[in-house]
Structure 1
Amino acid sequence: MANRVFVVGVGMTKFEKPGAREWDYPDMARESGTKALEDAGIDYREVEQGYVGYVYGESTSGQRALYELGMTGIPIVNVNNNCSTGSTALFLAAQAIRGGLADCTIALGFEKMQPGSLGATYNDREQPMEKHMMLLAEISEVLFPPAPWMFGAAGREHMEKYGTTAEHFAKIGYKNHKHSVNNPYAQFQTEYSLDDILGSRMIYDPLTKLQCSPTSDGSGAAILASEDFVDKHGLAGQAVEIVGQAMTTDFQSSFDRTCKNLIGYDMNVQAARKVYDQSGLGADDFQVIELHDCFSANELLLYEALGLCGEGEAGKLIDNDQTTYGGKWVVNPSGGLISKGHPLGATGLAQCSELTWQLRGTADKRQVDGVTAALQHNIGLGGAAVVTAYQRADR
């Protein structure tokens, strides 16, 4: 029987525009990691294993990052899984506890990024997304940079099949920017009108600039613990239990010549189903959700993939304001990737931090009423999707 896993401490830095702050990744890791340890009320010497996520960096940067917290000789694993890197580190740190290999672990993620669109680091070998992009080029026009093209094409496909409009996507950008006004950790904290969203620079129709996540610098961290550790340290009052967690990678259906599956729709569906089975919870049981809105088109598709509504019904959900305060769910109260920012290695751990605060009732102006369960979704193309369900330990 698997051991129970609890989040007992979280911490993150403010997410910043690359180059806006004079800091390096060890500084980021020290800030987020120290906050997480202080939140848990423990010393780094009690941590038995570390999992550190980053996409852009040299080998063993994970060691260098955690050395800011201490040098205790523990196993430290460097993790890279594209945009789902942070939640992959979380998945591995939880797995060590779930399997009885450790009683306390740390998952930490950071990113120090270059300004502008994401690009390849190595040009002397096949790119991991080459197969995806070659197929998409057969069923869609080609535009670079590839990320907005891929997600924009999936948005267009949804428009053609279900009658979704450009305004539906813009409303997601409007919502997430509005949410971020109350998040001191967010890269952007400006509210825009719907006309501002629609009228901002077109990146790939229907996606305008204010519907696309930016490159960011920043870090997030989480301390995970076993039930015995929680009891020993008297942490039940603040602990949040991971009641379901699953990671999926591409299926054969990812290449079925639909744009939505090329950007991970099936991965998302299957990961969510596994988590619902593990936790005994369904989409209706969650009040707050942090999901991977790298582009507004992905958030819209995720409403359907995660079971918030049926296929083709996401537009109705948006028109009825069901994914913001006063609706059935509050999705991305942090501002999401679109407005909070997207330092790739840190994103999944920032999501974990936000949901931990929401479940504790300590999210300040962002607090959602009556939170009893929270859902996290993080995806990286090429590909991996991680879905995690949380409940308070004292429930």
Structure 2
Amino acid sequence: MSRLLLTAVAGSILAAGLSAQTQLPVHKAVTPKHAGVYKMATGELQPANANERFGNTVVIFNASELTNYYSVPGLDQEWLDEGTLLDRNTGNWEQMNGMEFVYCSTEADATQNSGTVTFAFYDDTIVCTGPSNGGNFALGGYLCAYDIVGLPLGDANGAIQCWIVTVDLQGGFECPPNLTFDWTTDAANSKLFGWSFIPRNDNTGPWLSKGGTQAAGIDNSFVWFDQFGALVGCFWFGGTPFANFAMKMLGNDADARAVHPSTGPNNLVMNLDFSNPPIIGVTLKNAGSDDYYLGISLGNQELPTPGGVLLIDHTNLPVPPISMPGGALTIDASAGIGLTIYIQVLCVTAGSGPPSGSNLPTDMSGMFCIQL
């Protein structure tokens, strides 16, 4: 049975005769401000810049139609929500490369960077029960988890402030980051994934949502685990506002998956545009004065070298490495329709020629696995 979280309006709790159920208030929000883009690769919250390329992304889940309310879990408490990911990739898998969340706080923050929120994502969850594997953040069992640090809270005197934060997971922090496990989808059978909001500050909590443009599977409830992983229960707000938290999730173009070494990302960051298959656009985000080549393979591996971890199978190249003037390249891959290919940017000393056994790469990017 869902416990009831009650709406606080003008300081009054609008409930009567419900004392047998756990009652917690929700609070009136104020207009949110965009705090910036949190770069997981650097651990920094950067001011939002409309001219900065976030990499090619598409919305894979969007429950960010805001109500006028937020609620406060309490320090280190895990509130777990749910939704359904669409079956958009061959083989029914998904990969998240970014997200956007909204929260409010009345915790006094003179420096405007004292906040931390932890997010955990689960492959499969059950309404009013939690992850089907019995996991939670404290006990484990999640696919991926992220600490988003340096966030603004309330103002210096503790007056309420609400914030929108965009999180960039590209460059080695995607979920999942490699091929060792999958985030599976099964929208045809209404499979639910789980995600949770864990504030590391008092008086801070998620903005409540009533759905969104791609919010399949959301339920008017959420599950609460305490800081030790004990199940507190299943809660809702009595119907209004809806018991759902604002979240937008981003991914790569369909049938394209970023892959990084299990030991951590390589230095070079490759952005992929596969929005018009079989045309593949590759841009190196941090190109320098060296020469760059795109390696294309029909297989993958994880081979440590002095210049980084080689992720494409160098013994299974259908074409020689292709030069990338200025660190960018667009190719037509129609000759490989039906194949799975693996691409990786390889850096060599300027003027030394293409990478080879006698001209080893001095640096490398991560890899993309693409189903043509």
Shorter-chain-normalised TM-score: which range? under 0.3
The structure in which a higher percent of residues are helix is 1
Structure showing greater relative contact order (alpha-carbon pairs closer than 8 Å, 6 or more residues apart): 1
User: If the length of structure 1 is used for normalisation, what is the TM-score?
Assistant: 0.26
User: If the length of structure 2 is used for normalisation, what is the TM-score?
Assistant: 0.27
The structure in which a higher percent of residues are strand is 2
Larger Rg: 2
